[in-house]
Amino acid sequence: MKKSTLDHVLDWSGRILLTLILGFVLLPFFVVLIASFNDSAILSFPPKSWSLRWYANVFEYRDFGAGLVNSLKIAGIGASIAIVAGAGFAYVMDRYDFALKGLLNGVLMSPLIIPNFTIGLGLLILSTSASLPRTIWLVIAVHVIIVLPFVVRSVYVSLQNFERRYEQAAESLGASPLHVLVTITLPLLVPGLVSGALFAAILSFNEFTASLFVVNQRTQTLPVAMYNYVREYADPTLAAVSVIYVLVVAVLLLIVHKFFRLEKVLNVE
Amino acid sequence: MLSEIPPIPSQNDARPSVQIDGVSKSFSGVTALEPVSLKIRKGEFLTLLGPSGCGKTTLLNLIAGFLEADSGELFINSELVTQVPPHQREIGIVFQNYALFPHMSVAQNVAYGLRTRRVPKAEIAERVRETLALVKLEDFADRRPRQLSGGQQQRVALARALVIRPRVLLLDEPFSALDRNLRTAMQVELKEIQSRLGLTTVFVTHDQSEALSMSDRIAVMSRGRIRQIGSPTEIYDCPQNHFVSTFVGDANLFSATLVETDGKKVSLNVGETRLPLTTYQDELPAAGPVTLFVRPEQCRLSAAGQDGAIPATVALSVYQGSYAEMHLDCPTAEGGRVMLRVPASEALPVGTAVSIALPEQGPAIYAKEEAAA
Asked whether the predicted pLDDT for residue B246 surpasses 80, the reply is: yes
Count other C-beta atoms under 10 Å from residue B80's C-beta. 12
| Cα–Cα dist A32/B162, whole Å | 64
Q: Is the pLDDT of residue B351 over 50?
A: yes
Assess contact for B278 and B362: CB atoms under 8 A: no
Q: Which of A163, A165, A179 sits opposite B116 (nearest CB)?
A: A179
- CA angle A196/A198/A202 to nearest 5° reads 120
**pLDDT value of position B176:** 83
A16-49 pLDDT tens trace: 999 999 888 889 888 888 888 888 877 677 778 8
**What is the pLDDT at residue A263?**
60
Strands B310-319 and B323-329: antiparallel
CA B344, CA B348: separation in Å to the nearest integer? 9
What is the bridge-based pairing of β-strands B30-40 and B18-27? antiparallel
E-strand ranges in B182-287 read 201-205, 217-222, 225-230, 252-262, 265-270, 273-278
Give the C-alpha distances (Å, rounded to integers) separating B194 from B132, B159, B274. 15, 12, 49
Among A168, A180, A188, select the one facing B103 at the smallest CB separation.
A188
Contact flag A169-B103 (C-beta cutoff 8 Å): no
CA distance B118 to A110: 46
Instruction: Using an 8 Å CB-CB cutoff, list chain B residues near A163.
Output: 97, 99
CB-CB under 8 Å, B160 with A169: yes
At residue A170, the pLDDT reads 93
Going by pLDDT thresholds of 50, 70 and 90, the confidence category of residue A143 is: very high
Residues 6+ away with beta carbon under 8 Å from A44: A35, A38
Q: pLDDT confidence of A260, banded at 50, 70, 90?
A: low
Chain A contact set for B170 (CB, 8 A): 172
Q: Residues of chain B with pLDDT > 90: what percent?
A: 30
The sign of the torsion formed by the CA atoms of A251, A253, A255, A258 equals negative
Q: What is the pLDDT of residues A89-104, one digit of tens each?
A: 999 988 888 888 888 8
The CA-atom distances, in angstroms, between B95 and each of A179, B55, B153, B171 are: 20, 16, 11, 6
The pLDDT of residue B303 is 83
CB-CB neighbors (< 8 A) of B116 in chain A: 170, 173-176, 179
Its ipTM equals 0.80
Radius of gyration of chain B (CA): 24
Instruction: Give, for A157, the enclosing helix (H) or strand (E).
Output: helix A136-160
Averaged over A212-226, what is the pLDDT? 90
Query: Bridge partners of B74?
Result: B20
CA distance A172 to A140: 42
Q: Over 70: is that where the pLDDT of B57 sits?
A: yes
> The whole model's pTM is what?
0.78
User: Residue B13 has what pLDDT?
Assistant: 53
